[in-house]
Structure 1
Amino acid sequence: MKGWGKWIGALIGFSVFNFFGGVLGFIIGSMFDARTSVEWDERFTGSTNYTGKQAYQRSSTGDFAASLLVLTAAVMKADGKVVKSELEYVKKFYIGQFGAEKTRIQMQALRDLLNEPIDVRSIGHSIRYQMQYHSRLQLLHYLFGIAQADGSISTTEVNEIRRISGYLGINSPDFDSIKAMFIRETGGDFKILEISTDANNDEIKSAYRKMAKKYHPDKVASLGDDVRKQAEEKFRMVQEAYENLKKARGFS
């Protein structure tokens, strides 16, 4: 039975609360496996050389559910402070997925993580090999949303998200595209469409079709309503960037 708890938890969570319910079940199941792991070693070796917390870290390495929570904490404390608006952003997102009671458990785990050192590199690599690319792009959008929750995105937050993005295997044009959706700057519409400022009209049209397909909300429809809403917002920004360039260039 060793190691089965997280999968049983994920199965129950998925059957009741969809994909993100499975994520929550995976976290809770991993905690169960951690305790069981310590008991297992004590039973068969007579001792254990690690604490329950260390056992949890050991058993949950590579678990996407725990990894998602860890990346949330990494971005929240990137600028050296954790503000209420960021906590509320995360809380609102999780309530939409899990409900109030299960979100309470998540938020407590998050508060604990905010006081711990975080190995973003190993977590990012773990998610990279467990998650499809379009879902990783949506994860990046979520992380930028956390950073923006207090009304502005600091350079340290951008750098932390950029670092995470690299570990997630997200290419630079995609990172710059999503960043441009949150931080408006000269040439931002071109960056959103991932083209240079000297692109011709046909290249702009082609880029729009490509980006509309890449960011279509249907790609993440299985991840729940809140994730889909974020995807719809990203899709809307792609459309807006295209309309801005059409107007500026005078083509239809």
Structure 2
Amino acid sequence: MGKFAKWLGAGAGFTMGGPIGAILGFVVGSFIDGLSIEDLAEEQQEYQRNTQQQARRGRATSGDFEISLLILASIVIKADGKIDRRELDYVRMYFVKMYGKERANHAFKLFSGIMKKQISTRQVCLQIRQHMSHSTRLQLLHFLFGIAQADGQVIAPEEQEIRKIAGYLYINEYDYASIRAMFYDSSNSAYQMLEISKNATDDEVKKAYRKMAKKYHPDKLQGLGEEHMQGAQEKFQKIQAAYEKIKKERGMN
């Protein structure tokens, strides 16, 4: 079994089964003749037997997050009926930044195959929702908006697809609007990030900031590994910047 198959088998957990596993089996089978999803599952089990830091059974691993990102990214990129090179480059750049060049190359090889596959958004999201925490699902949504904006703007078909994904992932309207506001520069964006209106009192602003800082704190994603801390830090910093902007506009201490 080659390096690519070993990377995939070692990194994933829950994504080896269900509808996501079926997608992986189709894609990997087209790369490596005779290799099945069962072969990859055996590779994963061997990896877990030989590592000292096993993921708890049923909990998402870094590899699960990686595969879920790739599949959801393919849905958003194809939402407008065309594939923009800038969006593909964003995915590659993001993965190189998170995982390093070698692992990112493996991921992008898988991504190229996923892009050719017809995917049921609902089925994939239901599987992700069962195994990923709320904080992890918010991080997925943040990444998807970043992809959509990579070509300069988030167009209507892309946002419609992201909103549909958010619904299937049980991300409520307040959380959705908060993350969406991080990618739109409007007079109301800072308030939307904190999930409050412009009519909020100064005390309500402070309370909202504390709540959102806790919700988006990078420690919420510690279970996925250090490679995901940078993406979580970006969200956290945007919340801090939104709070500072409101404080400055209001002359708050």
Q: What TM-score results when the alignment is normalised by the length of structure 1?
A: 0.74
Secondary structure, counterpart of 2:154 in structure 1? coil
Contact between 1:181 and 1:192, CA under 8 Å: does it hold in 2?
A: yes
Paired with 1:251 and 1:82, the residues of 2 have a C-alpha distance of: 46
Moved more, 93-102 or 116-125: 93-102
State the distance in 2 between where 1:24 and 1:112 align: 20
* 173-182 vs 213-222, which moves further: 213-222
The one-letter amino acid of 2:252's match is F
Measured in 2, the distance between the counterparts of 1:236 and 1:121 equals: 31
1:146 match = 147
Equivalent residue for 2:105? 104
The worse-fitting range, judged by mean Cα deviation, of 70-79 and 103-112 is 103-112
- Greater mean alpha carbon deviation, residues 152-161 or residues 89-98: 89-98
**SS of 1:182's equivalent?**
coil
Q: Distance in 1 between matches of 2:24 and 2:84?
A: 30
Aligned to 1:236: 237
Please report how far the alpha carbon of residue 65 of structure 1 lies from its aligned counterpart in structure 2 after TM superposition: 5.9
Measure, in 1, the Cα distance between the counterparts of 2:8 and 2:122.
Answer: 28
Asked if the contact 1:75–1:160 (Cα under 8 Å) also holds between the matched residues in 2, the reply is yes
Per the TM alignment, residue 91 of structure 1 is displaced from its structure 2 partner at its CA by 1.4
| Greater shift in the superposed pair: 82-91 or 202-211 | 82-91
Looking at structure 2, the residues matched to 213 and 36 of structure 1 have their Cα atoms a distance apart, in angstroms, of 41
Q: Any idea what the Cα deviations from partners look like across 1:94-149, whole Å, max 9, x if unmatched?
A: 23444434433332332222233221011111111110000100111111111111
Cα distance, 1:9–1:129 mapped onto 2, change above 3 Å: farther
Count of aligned positions: 213
Structure 2 unaligned regions, length at least 5: 29-34, 41-63
Letter in 2 for 1:123: V
Determine if contact 2:191/2:198 at 8 Å carries over to the other structure.
Answer: yes
TM-score (norm. length: structure 2): 0.74
Q: Match for residue 133 of structure 1?
A: 134
Q: CA deviation at 1:151?
A: 1.8
Shift of the 231–171 alpha-carbon distance from structure 1 to 2, 3 Å rule, reads: same
Instruction: Output aligned runs, 1:101-250, within 5 Å.
Output: 101-250=102-251
Structure 2 CA distance for aligned equivalents of residues 241 and 101 of structure 1: 36
SS in 1 for 2:81: coil
Distance 2:92 2:13 in 1: 15
Identity %: 43
Q: Which has the higher contact order (CA 8 A, sep 6+)?
A: 2
Name the CA distance, whole Å, in 1 between partners of 2:82 and 2:133.
Answer: 31
User: In the alignment, is the contact (CA less than 8 A) between 1:9 and 1:25 conserved in 2?
Assistant: no
Could you list the per-position Cα deviations for residues 150-181 of structure 1 after superposition, in whole angstroms to 9, with x for gaps in the alignment? 22211111111011000011010000000000
Q: Structure 1's 150 and 200: CA in aligned 2 closer, same or farther, altered over 3 A?
A: same
Provide the residue aligned with 1:34 in structure 2: 37
- 1:16-55 paired onto structure 2 within 5 Å: 21-22=11-12, 26=16, 32-34=35-37
Change (3 A) 1:188 1:36: closer
The alpha carbon displacement at 1:92 in A equals: 2.2
Q: Which residue of 1 aligns with 2:71?
A: 70
